Structure 1
Amino acid sequence: MEPHPGGLLGPAPQRVGRLVFLNGTPSAGKTTVAKALQAELAEPFFHLSLDELRGGYPRRCWSQDHGGVLFRRVLDGYLYMLRDFLLLGHDVIPEAVITPRMLDHYLGLFEGVPVLIVAALSEPPVVSAFERLRLRKAE
């Protein structure tokens, strides 16, 4: 994958960005890990979770998303947005739940980009407790 030839407001990037994918179940600590990486890394890394992007739609849209059509469109938009950021030279730390069925889709989309996939793992009781907190905050 070649860098973008140039932005509307700036020069062409010198390189394609680097991708550190945080993969794990909901409430496994991906956002916490992303923020810790941003704090420790010398270079700036962009972070935006899929949940933050999903927040652009009202909650009622998600309860009406029978068949997951809206979710798949938002997921594709998220992945293509990340790809464009990479092509413009940004280093990116996204979050995902990459299932085995979707792995080839992810790898194909980011072909030619330096990719590191990091598993965010937590014990099931910890994940359950954080998920309950997360759901309470969303109410």
Structure 2
Amino acid sequence: MKPGLIVFLNGTSSSGKTSISTELLNQNEISFYHLSIDDFFNGLFHDYINFINTKYAEDVQGPTHIIIEPLITLFYSTIKFMSVMGTNIVVDTVNDTDERFNTFLGLLMDHPVLLVGVTCSKEELIRREKLRGDREIGLAISQYDKVYCLNEYDLELNTETLSPDECANLILNIIRSNREYSAFKKLNKRSVGVS
């Protein structure tokens, strides 16, 4: 069975990943399944994470870190499984730690990954966070340097100048071209330091 394509949208919170994903899901040419880390946690594990955060509210960092990282590994393992089963996937997540990046790289290295950088200015990220009202102001800026430290992409999209529909069409154009996606294979694991 031919593995499913993984369109990996790399960007901070509020950079426009979900809007692009929605456009890719709404087109009729290529079938995609959308896997979002927000949906993964807020849907499948919402009650579980709430229980942990409530029970151990005084020391959230320790228990949450112990539990969240394995769940993120499960998220990436789900992506790998779906690709193996021939499903095309649009991935919407934030790789803002070296551990998460290395998990992502290790599990998906042998799969067809189209690596797409989704960017906009810091000022625009703050404006979007204020408009959304469901994100802590400054979250995207706190992720910025770690998320955008990659120097290899198959495609870079500036969502300040391109609409979600235009971004989706540029992604589809690369897929239609049948060229090899090489950016992901050029990435190297990051050395994990003390944060």
TM-score range relative to shorter protein: 0.7 to 0.9
Structure 2 Cα separation of the partners of residues 22 and 131 of structure 1: 19
> 1:84 — aligned with what?
81
CA displacement, residues 23-75 of structure 1 (integer Å, 9 cap, x when unaligned):
11111111001111222361211102101111031463457442322221221
Report the CA distance between 1:134 and its aligned residue: 4.3
Structure 2 Cα separation of the partners of residues 46 and 32 of structure 1: 14
SS at match of 1:47: strand
Report the CA distance between 1:126 and its aligned residue: 2.1
Contact 2:76 2:103 in 1 (8 A): no
Structure 2 Cα separation of the partners of residues 26 and 92 of structure 1: 19
> 1:34 — aligned with what?
21
Structure 2 Cα separation of the partners of residues 73 and 43 of structure 1: 31
Identity value in percent: 24
Relative contact order: is structure 1 or structure 2 higher (C-alpha 8 Å, sep ≥ 6)? 1
> 2:46 — aligned with what?
57
TM-score normalised to the size of structure 2? 0.56
**Count, aligned residues:** 123
User: Greater helix share, 1 or 2?
Assistant: 2
CA displacement, residues 111-136 of structure 1 (integer Å, 9 cap, x when unaligned):
22111111111221221232232427
Gaps of 5+ in 1: 1-13
TM-score normalised to the size of structure 1? 0.76
Amino acid at match of 1:85: M
SS at match of 1:34: helix
4+ runs of 1 displaced by more than 6 Å?
none
CA displacement, residues 68-124 of structure 1 (integer Å, 9 cap, x when unaligned):
222212211111111111111101111122347344432221122111111111221
Amino acid at match of 2:106: G
RMSD, aligned α-carbons: 2.2
Gaps of 5+ in 2: 136-195
> 2:128 — aligned with what?
130
